[in-house]
Copies of this chain bind each other. A is one copy, B any other.
């Protein structure tokens, strides 16, 4: 993967031809604008693809980056991965020719995508990139495996679909898997340090096991199921390893403790050293490496981003007479931004231009142009002043006394508190037995109240502002209440018509009812900040989700081949095999006694659920097969719990520290300054007043026309501060404080022949 890393990290110094060729053109051609927009967009999203600069390749590249093709690709990857549900051992059995046909289709799509990519970047770059090679190898191996499997099945031999283990590699190696590849690199970089701590940890476990063997092995103690206690060294090592995960505490200690309380000291020392100290050291090592490595990657990302922007500037720049540096005109700038972000409002674009061109020259230089990529990543909320539709329909009625009173009531703090109280009362009613008709009917009252709340708010606030993209809780409320209404109506209709109640619909109704209660959290400021941080790390958690998916998938595939049908679960309660999960070796074991039969590797869904359980507590059941099967469980524990979960914890820690410590970036500040200079700012005090949602007051002030806001501009901006469009931007933000801008400056100068001065954002 080192090749891939290189190609992702080192930005190229191509595109110099364009810089020279285009100097002096007053109006840029469509090709140039396309090329520039490709550079800007790559810089914004931190893509590190060395696109061929020919117009045809650029057109193809724009198509390659189209959201529809990306969604299609991910759909086929998911389809490919989910084939495991239908293949042997299947959850939903389907003839093998059908799954093979679908897999063939997937392979075709992947090949087409790769061919498309090959057309976009220079040929030599394509073959130097390890991730392309990896995809090709995976596709070929899968094809070979399918042919062998098909042939063996045709000859009625037993066959193994071993290439399924390779499927998650596609998720890692597609162009869009940057975050996932970074997470894997992060793990790989931490591995050597983790390895040494792990060796020491294992040494400690081995020494303790030896001591346990010597101290306890000869005392003739028995475990609960009567087997000898601590007599086999390897068994002791495994038991003590499991004790680290706390899964078998205090069971493993009880026989010794029952014999004498002195032995408890042995186990307490063991847990102190191995569970508390060593596990903390693992976290420290992982965290430290994660931070160090991420900082380095972010430094390279920032450098690559600036290079892309400089190249875009080279394409767009025009001479400005003697002694003046070349610059980019507003017209060209506008066209490029329009190409990069077609959804951006004109007002927003003009705001960004005025931040860049703060001396109002109509031209911007290199330094101001380079920061465009960062400006595009700052989420600016555009508030449009629109009159309420009812006001337009019937102004006299809407501005009448009772209507004004109603508006004032709804906007009052007490309205929020009232509905929070209603939610709490509702919570109590949900907890009570709904067989009581009074309770059952109260549901209609609550539904009506919630519906009334939404309607009242829609009466007061401008609907389009109410349902704007950032108003999470408004959307949440409306969707939950409307769905609950529909589900409850359907449920009652079914009940009254045939006396039959669908369990599924009832479940949905219950879940929706409980979810409604969550809204109460938003009313308390302290909770909102914690929840906002959690929501902010959401996208990054998706990356960890993918990482976990890749690891689980591989372990599930291997586990299914190794342990398939060793444990059987029977739905029939009278089945005599139920007592020992269909496997005589489990007769009388705790596994069967505790009714764990459904924890098996018999199909991909069971396997995934079992792997989640193993992540939480790893017992490592190995009675049904050979003792060496424990290697599988220990490996899983090391990889998932010691490495991945620790990296996840490290990420959450870092994200919270950033929340606690970081100030706004310089660029944020300059953008905010510009907004307030232009007197387009939404006042902060106004935002604090309203508890329902920061936006609503504003929309109301602007929209109802009641608050005499005629002297206010019809358009206002607000920075959705600290909210980031991309995960990269969040990560960059995390390490922004540590990154030394001078550090890049020198390197950039060296690579750019000195024609690029480091942009000092604070000077804007």
Contact = CB atoms under 8 A, between A and B. Distances in A.
Interface of A: 196-197, 199-200, 203, 207, 210-211, 213-215, 224, 233, 246, 249-251, 253-255, 257-258, 261, 264, 268, 271, 275-277, 280-281, 283-285, 287-288, 427, 430-431, 507, 510-511, 513-514, 517-518, 521, 526-527, 530-531, 534, 569, 593-599, 605-606, 609, 612-613, 616-617, 645, 648-649, 652-653, 656-657, 660
A288 B652 CA distance: 12
A280 B648 contact: yes
A464 to B, nearest CB: 32
Contacts of A280: 648-649, 652-653
Contacts of A507: 215
A285 B427 CA distance: 29
Nearest to A435: B218
Contacts of A268: 609, 612
A276 B645 contact: yes
A251 to B, nearest CB: 6
Given A207-B518, A214-B430, A277-B534, A284 B656 contact: yes
Contacts of A613: 249-250, 253
A510 B214 contact: yes
B271 A612 contact: yes
A488 to B, nearest CB: 14
10 contacts: A210-B514, A246-B616, A249-B613, A258-B598, A261-B606, A264-B609, A276-B649, A281-B530, A283-B649, A288-B657
A716 B246 CA distance: 50
A224 to B, nearest CB: 5
Contacts of A430: 210, 214
A585 to B, nearest CB: 20
Contacts of A656: 281, 284-285, 288
Contacts of A531: 200
A513 B215 CA distance: 11
Given A199-B527, A250-B599, A284-B656, A275 B616 contact: yes
A409 to B, nearest CB: 28
Contacts of A596: 250, 254
Contacts of A660: 288
Query: Which 8 A/B pairs are nearest by Cβ-Cβ distance?
Result: A284-B656, A214-B510, A280-B652, A211-B514, A250-B613, A264-B609, A196-B526, A249-B616
Given A200-B531, A268-B609, A510-B214, A657 B595 contact: no
B617 A249 contact: yes
Given A257-B609, A514-B207, A281 B200 contact: no
A64 to B, nearest CB: 34
A61 to B, nearest CB: 37
B284 A530 contact: no
A593 B517 contact: no
A472 B95 CA distance: 69
B652 A277 contact: yes
A653 B211 contact: no
A283 B277 CA distance: 15
A276 B197 contact: no
A261 B600 CA distance: 12
A271 B224 contact: no
A707 B615 CA distance: 59
A280 B540 CA distance: 15
Contacts of A511: 211, 214-215
Nearest to A597: B258
A280 B537 CA distance: 12
A211 B507 CA distance: 9
A253 B268 CA distance: 29
A529 to B, nearest CB: 9
A200 B649 contact: no
A199 B526 CA distance: 10
A38 to B, nearest CB: 38
A277 B651 CA distance: 11
A594 B224 contact: yes
Contact of A233 (B200, B213, B253, B431): B431
